[in-house]
Amino acid sequence: MTEKKYLKWYNKIGYGSGDIAGNVVYAFLATFVMIYLTDTAGLNAGIVGTLMMVSKIFDGFTDIIFGSLIDKTKSKLGKARPWMLYPYIGCSLMLAAIFAIPTEWGDVAKYAYFFITYTLLNAVFYTANNIAYSALTALITRNGNERVQMGSIRFIFAFGTSLLIQSITVDAVEYFGNGAEGWRIVAIIYAIIGLIVNTISVFSVKELPEKELKKENPADEEAAKFSAEAYPDFELADKENRVKDESKKYSLIDSAKILFANKYYILICGIYILTQLFSSTLSMGIYYMTYILGNADLLGTFSLVINVPMICGLLITPFLVKKYKGMYKLNLTGYIISTIARALVMVGGYMHNIPMMLIFTGFAAIAMSPMQGDLNALIAACSDYTYRTTGKRIDGTMYSCSSLGVKIGGGIGTALTGWLLAAGGYVANAAVQPESCINMLHFMYLWLPMILNLLITILLSRLTVEKANEEWDKTHND
């Protein structure tokens, strides 16, 4: 049977454009905040890394909280869209504030200022916006192929935005006068762009009515038939429980128990964290380009060979998912290839062979692209698995794994960079770094990405949620 279609092309494009807003915050922060703090604000990389880590303790509490709030929200805009719309105002303000540390302040005041603004951005405003944005995948369509298309489109915008930011930011800062003033102006421009695009994205889609969501979810029909012949008494009780469940609002503890009882949720959280750690290690490539390859502008070149193949791969991901009748084999095969390619990038790095590094960086990127495009669809499948097995629907809370992974992975990645730079003896603005720092930069930019890809491959080999859903349907159809 052909799945019902819910979205026009402009709905999909409008939704996907929300990742422009997300990445003028995330990509800008992940790529440049550390070098701004060390080389412009004059802060110690190790102390900054520690502050980022402490900030993540606060951050870890807010993901499930906002996910639960989204599940309980009822408004004219729906459940998720209000949380996507209004918190982005705070994102814009905090992004500009982080890159406007008063240069005349003492170090203690600078550290405190950064910690407060960084925590507010990540733990409050970005969390609410990002969880709501991701949850919309399950709230505006029940069509599996449309979900994959939306995931591919949003990540095309994400990687395109990252490419642009990594390519133009250094020159833009220089154009606006370099130093503190240049960073401040560029941050304000990015914040305004993000605010405009986020608002457009919010109003480009509409959430489905609750009745439509229930009607179109195949798990509802299966639940209604659950053990009808074998367990007639249980079926009656089950129906009554599910009716009660529809009006029940779960507490934060209840939602957390439901989430962590789903092993696929834990696996997806782990994958999200590792992919963000991977991105963070590559984002810190500006140190590698400056002090090992001797040209900071190469950051734009490497960004090009990462993001263009990634975008090309995302364009064909919906076709590949349909051809291979699922996401599991496609994702796993892609990451096996990408791990091998990253190992060859490492070889090229030690040979100082830049063309070899660029070629295999591109191979790794295109092999990783299917999983980037269908990850939201995997979360939707994970949410459907929870509903099938428990009768409880908590889409907003389930999508907390995306924000949780982005923030923990990105935050730890940036913090780890600070710790490793400090451990390697990095000297801000030095013409030549000590040998210990050179060795550390090799580890950070060459070894870590390959190791992280290997770990992701292992987790993907266990992420069989599609098969689990099919087996559940088959068992309860018989």
Lowest mean pLDDT among 25-34, 184-193, 226-235: 226-235
Q: At residue 297, does pLDDT exceed 80?
A: yes
pLDDT tens per residue across span 200-229: 999 999 988 877 666 644 444 443 343 344
Lowest mean pLDDT among 23-27, 119-123, 227-231, 342-346: 227-231
pLDDT of residue 353: 93
**Both tokens of residue 240?**
């009554």
pLDDT of residue 478: 58
Category of 141 on φ-ψ map: left (φ > 0), alpha (ψ -120 to 50) or beta: beta
In the 3-class helix/strand/coil scheme, how is 195-226 assigned residue by residue? HHHHHHHHCCCCCCCHHHHHHHCHHHHHHHCC
Category of 432 on φ-ψ map: left (φ > 0), alpha (ψ -120 to 50) or beta: beta
Asked if residue 288 lies in contact with residue 439, where contact means CB atoms within 8 angstroms, the answer is no
State the Cα–Cα distance between residues 337 and 345, nearest whole angstrom. Answer: 12
Position with higher pLDDT, 151 vs 222: 151
In this structure, which amino acid lies at residue 104? E
Segment 368-376 shows an average pLDDT of 84
| Predicted TM-score (pTM) of this structure | 0.70
Segment 88-93 shows an average pLDDT of 96
**Both tokens of residue 468?**
């689990």
> How far is C-alpha 434 from the geometric centre of its chain's CA atoms?
34
pLDDT tens per residue across span 420-441: 999 999 988 888 899 999 999 9
**3-class secondary structure, 248:** coil
pLDDT tens per residue across span 260-272: 788 888 888 889 8
Segment 292-308 shows an average pLDDT of 88
State the Cα–Cα distance between residues 239 and 246, nearest whole angstrom. Answer: 11
